[in-house]
Homo-oligomer: A and B are copies of this chain.
Amino acid sequence: MQDFLAGVEPFKRLSLSERQRLSAVSRERRYSKGEMVFRTGDPSDAICIVKSGRVHLMKFLEGGQASTTCVMTSGDTFCCLPALDQKPYPVDAIAATDSIVVRIPTSSFQTLLEKNPVFLKDSLCLFCDRLRQVEHKSCMAYDSVEQRLAQALLTLSKKFGSTIPLTKHELAELASTTVETTIRVLSQLKKQGIIKSSRGSTTIAKPQLLEDLASS
């Protein structure tokens, strides 16, 4: 397992012995598709790293709508926030596919933060990235669904490459819209040759045109 951690932020720059100690106290856990990995208000006894599969960070609104804020795949760390400041983390994490998640006890994480300034700095940088990402989406309410979907697809393509293995429903949750509208908009993009679409996946055919749409 320390091999796995060697490729994961913010653990990359830990010493071998530190990683080994961390591995010794960590636990792997399997989640089936649809299972909750973390629930709003849970006591945060561990920080989580996706080892395989796909986990979505989501918000559920009172109206019943679901909004996905972040798609986590192999090597992505989440639920660090409450481990740092002991405050609740207001999101739900759900396994979007069968997944394996590595759980590192909060206490071990905190010990490392206190003892290892380099680790603290790397954690800080990881947060800066996350903050930048989220702030980037903060003016989303102004954008049309087409723009929001274009942005979502482009963001996802950094993770998955040009073919994005998400259903239309999952894309809808990322763009904070409905399945029907998502399908309609993507159909238009398909007609224009900008994307290809099939059951359970969408392929970006013309990234440049999609970027134009995203920022227009």
Contacts and interface: CB of A to CB of B under 8 A. Distances in A.
Interface in A31-65: 59, 61-63, 65
A99 to B, nearest CB: 21
Contacts of A65: 139, 142
A24 interface: no
A136 interface: yes
Given A121-B120, A124-B120, A137 B136 contact: no
A131 B132 contact: no
Interface stretch (A81-89, A160-168, A183-191): A81-89
A85 B120 contact: no
Interface in A162-216: 175-177, 215-216
A48 to B, nearest CB: 16
Interface in A132-151: 132, 134-143, 148
Contact of A117 (B91, B114, B125): B114
A39 to B, nearest CB: 16
A120 B61 CA distance: 35
Interface residues on A, range: 35 or more
A145 to B, nearest CB: 9
Given A128-B84, A128-B85, A131-B131, A59 B138 contact: yes
A91 B131 CA distance: 12
B90 A135 contact: yes
A101 B147 CA distance: 36
A140 to B, nearest CB: 5
11 contacts: A69-B138, A81-B131, A85-B124, A120-B121, A134-B138, A138-B140, A139-B176, A140-B140, A141-B148, A141-B175, A141-B176
Interface of A: 59, 61-63, 65, 67, 69, 81, 84-85, 87, 89-91, 113-114, 117, 120-121, 123-125, 127-132, 134-143, 148, 175-177, 215-216
Given A85-B129, A114-B117, A141-B175, 7 more contacts: A63-B216, A65-B139, A69-B138, A127-B127, A131-B134, A134-B134, A142-B176
